[in-house]
Chain A
Amino acid sequence: MDKAAIIGVGMTSIEGNKVRDTFADMAWEAVNKALDDAGMNINDIDNVITTSNDFWDGRTISCMAVGDASGAAHKNVSCVEGDGTFGAFYGLTRALSGSYGTTLVTAHTKGSQSVSSLITNAAFDPIYERSLGMDMISACAMQANAYMNRTGITSEQLALVSVKNHGNAKKNPLSQMPLDITVNDVLKSEMISDPLHKLDCSPVSDACCAIIIANEERAAKHKGKPVWIKGVSFCSDAFFFGDRDLSRAPALEQAAKKAYAMAGIKNPMKEIDTAEVYDAFTYQELMWLEGLGLCADGESGRLLEKGEFAIDGRLPVNASGGLLSGHPVIAAGLIRIAEIVKQLRGEAGKYQTKNPKTGVAHGVNGLCGQSHCVWVLGKDK
């Protein structure tokens, strides 16, 4: 792959209900923060990708509603429906196409404006599945059961992910749910859908994130600290849930392998310094870490207990507080990328991890990790 870099990131705070903001208001804030961060103005942006989901936004062609506020006037603007990492992937390919030197990528969501369970229920097949009423939480609970049954990962270990990430969020001023909690607090919180307690689940959230991707030539002209895109890949699993072994994430394993190969990474356990993974539920952080090859299959719980994934651990995971501390669907993956950019620049403030050179950002599209997008980012070209 030709070289490309992320030269600007911006995000709104993550909140449970941004009642003062429309989608466009959030986009305006995130886009201007990204432009300021990059030391650019809108005329330096060659094309725009907006990322959204029509069901979540409650309207069709939801991406166009944020066009003006995203600086898309008179520019080639295209839209991706899904997680922000997938929007960024498209943005990257455009920057690499030779037609555009820079791509602005945005992703937004306002979970506060709808009934989340009805929205995620609508992701199921309308003929065979939807009328049974399953939603993201119940589907993920079944995945959690399958994963725990196969690996022996315990509810206490799941709870520890919640303790860690809500604790990390206390250091992140943009986070929605900083909490001082114990494993016991998690286990005693309301059982939502076995085996998931309330504190095993991420909250409903509003936010927007924007990043600016530049090809090598334009990145060279950039005065700040570019973060280089070393490898990126996405893979998908089968559409019907029943076709998948829900206790495993083969699409993630494939995506990670391809992204590492592109980045020249031979041993991800040694070569990745920090990771932001899609922890919509506690078990997902553990399951995805294994799928990403960042620890051996079934070992994540034990390593978590040893403190290896803490901010000062061997491999800090979700130092920002992760999605458990604020889960703006769609924006979620783009925020993972932006957080790794901050880490690699050494600008993550109180949750800065120790001198990372290479980081992984991970996004998910579809329920229970139907498709995964893996980004390997580096400080050095």
Chain B
Amino acid sequence: MSDKDYIIIESGKAEQPFHYAVGMHGSKFFRELKDNRRFIGLKCPKCGKVFIPPRGVCGECFVEMNEWVEVGPNGVIGSFTILRYAFIDPETGQQKPIPYGYGFIKLDGADTLFQHYINIEDESKVKIGARVEAVFSKERKGSIRDIEYFRVVD
């Protein structure tokens, strides 16, 4: 038998829908983003690091975090890439337009990097260390997409 004689079956349109609990910290974070266009992170009482996205525990210190601090909305690019291959958007199932930029953003006042899109209108300006600002979506629903992207500021 040659390879073309072997049968393949398709999984079809089967879906596995989930509804993820964002939790008490994330809910507050997204509400701030949606209502006030503000980023807030959680500060560790022991090591003093400010974490964003927020979560309840500092893994290094193994202690709970309760102190909220405002960070951003400006920051610097920690690392980035420009995606040039075709990729399906996991949210819509549609092909995403290429190229587009991704980055890890060190928001002012935060100790961790925040993952999001980077506007690549002028590719030559997209560099590690470049200063960026957040551009918020006009219609905000309380999700990570409430931020449209970050863009390099001169």
Per-residue CB proximity of B132-151 to A under 8 Å, as 1/0?
Answer: 00000000000111000000
* In the complex, residue of chain B having the shortest beta-carbon distance to the beta carbon of A121: B90
Given the known interface contacts A241-B113, A242-B115, A246-B79, the answer about A142 and B103 at a Cβ–Cβ threshold of 8 Å is yes
Q: Which of A19, A134, A143 contacts B79 (CB 8 A)?
A: A143
* In the complex, residue of chain B having the shortest beta-carbon distance to the beta carbon of A147: B79
Whole-angstrom distance from the CB of B58 to the nearest CB of chain A?
10
The number of residue pairs between A and B whose CB atoms lie closer than 8 Å in the complex comes to 113
Please name all residues of chain B whose beta carbon is closer than 8 Å to the beta carbon of A128 when the two chains form the complex: 26, 53, 115, 144
- The residues in B between 36 and 84 inclusive whose CB is less than 8 angstroms from any CB of A are 51-53, 55, 59, 78-84
Q: Which of A118, A137, A138, A144 contacts B90 (CB 8 A)?
A: A118
Q: Which of A178-186, A191-199, A354-362 contacts B (4 or more CB under 8 A)?
A: A191-199
With A and B bound together, what is the CA distance between A243 and B96 in angstroms?
A: 27
Given the known interface contacts A20-B3, A238-B59, A246-B79, the answer about A132 and B88 at a Cβ–Cβ threshold of 8 Å is no
Q: Which of B18, B78, B88, B116 contacts A115 (CB 8 A)?
A: B88
Given the known interface contacts A127-B22, A133-B89, the answer about A243 and B51 at a Cβ–Cβ threshold of 8 Å is yes
Please name all residues of chain A whose beta carbon is closer than 8 Å to the beta carbon of B11 when the two chains form the complex: 58
Q: Which of A20, A131, A141, A193 contacts B143 (CB 8 A)?
A: A131
Inter-chain contact B128/A145, CB cutoff 8 Å: yes
Inter-chain contact B115/A126, CB cutoff 8 Å: no
Please name all residues of chain B whose beta carbon is closer than 8 Å to the beta carbon of A41 when the two chains form the complex: none
Residue A130 is within 8 A (CB to CB) of chain B in the complex: yes
Given the known interface contacts A128-B115, A243-B112, the answer about A138 and B102 at a Cβ–Cβ threshold of 8 Å is yes
With A and B bound together, what is the CA distance between A240 and B111 in angstroms?
A: 12
Whole-angstrom distance from the CB of B106 to the nearest CB of chain A?
9
Per-residue CB proximity of B8-29 to A under 8 Å, as 1/0?
Answer: 1001000000101011001000
Please name all residues of chain A whose beta carbon is closer than 8 Å to the beta carbon of B20 when the two chains form the complex: 126-127
Residue A271 is within 8 A (CB to CB) of chain B in the complex: no
Please name all residues of chain B whose beta carbon is closer than 8 Å to the beta carbon of A146 when the two chains form the complex: 78-79, 104, 128
Inter-chain contact B117/A145, CB cutoff 8 Å: no
Please name all residues of chain A whose beta carbon is closer than 8 Å to the beta carbon of B52 when the two chains form the complex: 242
Given the known interface contacts A19-B8, A142-B103, A145-B79, the answer about A135 and B26 at a Cβ–Cβ threshold of 8 Å is no
Given the known interface contacts A131-B91, A132-B115, the answer about A142 and B80 at a Cβ–Cβ threshold of 8 Å is yes
Q: A interface vs B, CB < 8 Å? A: 19-20, 58, 115, 117-118, 121-122, 125-135, 137-138, 141-146, 149, 190-196, 238-243, 246-247
> Could you list 22 A-B pairs, sorted by A, with CB under 8 Å?
A19-B8, A115-B88, A126-B18, A128-B115, A131-B144, A132-B117, A135-B87, A137-B85, A142-B79, A142-B103, A142-B104, A143-B79, A144-B81, A145-B80, A146-B79, A146-B128, A193-B83, A194-B82, A195-B81, A196-B81, A242-B78, A242-B114
